[in-house]
Amino acid sequence: MRMFDWWRRLTGLGATRGVTSPVPTAASDYVDSRDCGLVDAVQSGWFLNSSDELFSGFAIGPQDVVLDVGCGAGGATLFSANRGAHVVFTDVVPEKIEALRQRLVDSPARAVEGLVSDSSPLPLADGYATRVIALEMLEHVVDPAAVLRELLRVGRPGALYLLAVPDPVGERIQQDCAPSHYFEPPNHIHIFERDAFAQVVADAGLVIERRSSYGFYWSIWMLIYWAQLRASGEQLAGETHDVVHPPYSPLLDDWASLWHRLIQIPEFSSVKQHLDRLMPKSQVIVARKPD
């Protein structure tokens, strides 16, 4: 099963509501890194089709106006669109906005708005959205606190917020092996310690309802990626949003296949949870704007 098929099933676009994991056969145990990552994400509480939760505790319905800030490829927007929500998605890259707009043409979203914006400020009225999503974008902006205050402004009273940034443990290890421009504009210019992330969210005026972490699989994947990149002698161009790109090395295929086999074992579930807390790729906060 290839990435596009998995993405359709996880977002619910043109697919059944259930999600099952492809199990490698004896003839071929190859698993695409991204396919494995999506299976891992579902086990961590993402893309819960049966309950319409983008993340555990963050349900989306047709009555919602969902703002996806720094939407990237648009996974969160696609999931929300399939719930019939009014979706608003922003990014600083115009091509990403147009590509996502085209993908949403036949979606069941009751309204679609794509905006090219750096979020400072957002071209939206006060109290516009009932659901606000900012996944892996605050580490890129010059003033995260100011962006969070802007996100608070455009949320309605009682709006839910889903916020994620890279975890500091994996980020600091990557500083020793990733190219220097990975931690320079327009890439990762902030590393959020866990308590500091919670504090900046609270200081913006949001009430934190849940904190979580996930993505040990991706933390190791990234370290392998940088190691094989160095071993190959390849140099990545600086100042790009797409510093990680295919083709990927056989080592990464081996890691994806191994991790995929491990997370099929029910008894491994508690081990995965411990590892996701020990060295996660991302830290996640679900918060609410006070009524």
41: pLDDT strictly greater than 50: yes
CA distances from 200 to 14, 83, 146 (A): 38, 30, 10
Portion of the chain with pLDDT greater than 90, in percent: 79
Average pLDDT, the chain: 89
pTM: 0.89
* Segment 78-137, tens digit of pLDDT: 999 999 999 999 999 999 999 999 999 999 999 999 999 999 899 999 999 999 999 999
Residue 269 has pLDDT above 90, yes or no: yes
What is the fold, at CATH topology level, of the domain defined by 31-288? Rossmann fold (3.40.50)
Of 99-108, 151-160, 228-237, the range with the lowest mean pLDDT is 228-237
* pLDDT confidence bin for 207, thresholds 50/70/90: very high
Does the pLDDT value for residue 69 go beyond 90? Answer: yes
Distance CA 7, CA 76 (A): 11
Average pLDDT over residues 249-274: 96
Question: What pLDDT is stored for residue 232 in this prediction?
Answer: 77
Q: What pLDDT does 48 receive?
A: 97
Average pLDDT over residues 219-233: 88
Pairwise CA distance, residues 251 & 253, whole Å? 5
Task: Quote the pLDDT of residue 28.
Answer: 55
Position 161 scores a pLDDT of 98
Pairing of strands 282-288, 155-166: antiparallel
Count the Cβ atoms, other than its own, within 10 Å of residue 116.
Answer: 14
Domain ranges of the chain: 31-288
Rg (CA), the chain: 19
Q: Looking at the DSSP assignment, which residues form a beta bridge with residue 283?
A: 165, 213
**What percentage of the chain has pLDDT greater than the value 70?**
87
* Over residues 133-154, mean pLDDT: 97
